[in-house]
Structure 1
């Protein structure tokens, strides 16, 4: 078979060109392009890891700032509550003073009114006694026909009012 005797020559040439092509591809891609790709990948990985570290540091700083803000807010809230409580206390004291003053004024007005009422009551009682004494004198004179003394009539009226 003549085809079998040509195998070695035909395949030898193909194997040579196959090895030459793979060698060329290995040299061009493996030694020329691969280091550039690897360096690019390494640079990208380094940049990503650096960015992650920067983000972690920024996140930690943001947490610190937030904690400081909360502490300051709590301090400000406490200070505002103290100021509010002081204002409430001052307002209560002022209201107590005004209330005491008004209570004193009302007490004075009540005392004056009670004095006027007592005077009016005393005057009315005196007038009632006088009118009752006159009425008693007239009654005694009409009923019995005798004339009683005004002093006796006044004493009788006073005794009746005291018992009555």
Structure 2
């Protein structure tokens, strides 16, 4: 290769200038450019680390807030369930009390109606005996059979007791 002919005296001067330029460029880069790049990279790494730490802190706060929210939701749910249970028990007690009151009122009405029916039956039976006694006396009078009112009433009572038996 003719470019790398070390026997040529111009080639040696080119190599010397190459080494000088390379040395100066290396010194300039090392002394001025690379420290600035390194400081920018260090700042960027520090900023990234700070952002990561802030993100971790925010995530921890978010998780704590979520845990608090879940706990408060669970507590509210439990409180609501207790309130519902208490309302159900109270409503059942009120319904039972109202049912007992209605049953007592109905039982009283039934007892009163039964008493009225018994009284009406007894009155009807008493009136029936009186009517039967009067009818028997009227028939005896039509037939011209003399009979005492007490005897007729006793005969009607006997017949009524035999018919009931």
- Asked if Structure 1 and Structure 2 have the same fold, meaning a TM-score greater than 0.5 normalized by the shorter chain, the answer is yes
d(CA) in 2 for partners of 1:129, 1:153: 10
In the alignment, which residue of structure 1 is the partner of 2:159?
A: 157
- 2:17 aligned with 1:17: yes
State the 1:41 CA deviation. Answer: 1.1
- 2:42 aligned with 1:58: no
1:27-82 deviation line (CA, Å, top 9, x unaligned):
23333211111111121112112211221122112212222222222222222222
In the alignment, which residue of structure 2 is the partner of 1:39?
A: 39
State the 1:154 CA deviation. Answer: 0.6
Aligned length: 157
- 2:89 aligned with 1:89: yes
For structure 1, list consecutive stretches of 5 or more residues without a partner in the other structure: none
In the alignment, which residue of structure 2 is the partner of 1:107?
A: 107
Where do residues 141-156 of structure 1 align in structure 2 (5 Å cutoff)? 147=145, 150-156=152-158
d(CA) in 1 for partners of 2:160, 2:60: 101
1:95-126 deviation line (CA, Å, top 9, x unaligned):
23222222222122111111111112222333
- 2:75 aligned with 1:75: yes
> Which runs of 4 or more aligned residues in structure 1 lie more than 6 Å from their structure 2 counterparts after TM superposition?
134-142
Taking structure 1 as the reference length, the TM-score comes to: 0.75
Taking structure 2 as the reference length, the TM-score comes to: 0.75
d(CA) in 2 for partners of 1:156, 1:123: 18
For structure 2, list consecutive stretches of 5 or more residues without a partner in the other structure: none
Aligned 8 A contact 1:133 1:157 in 2 = no
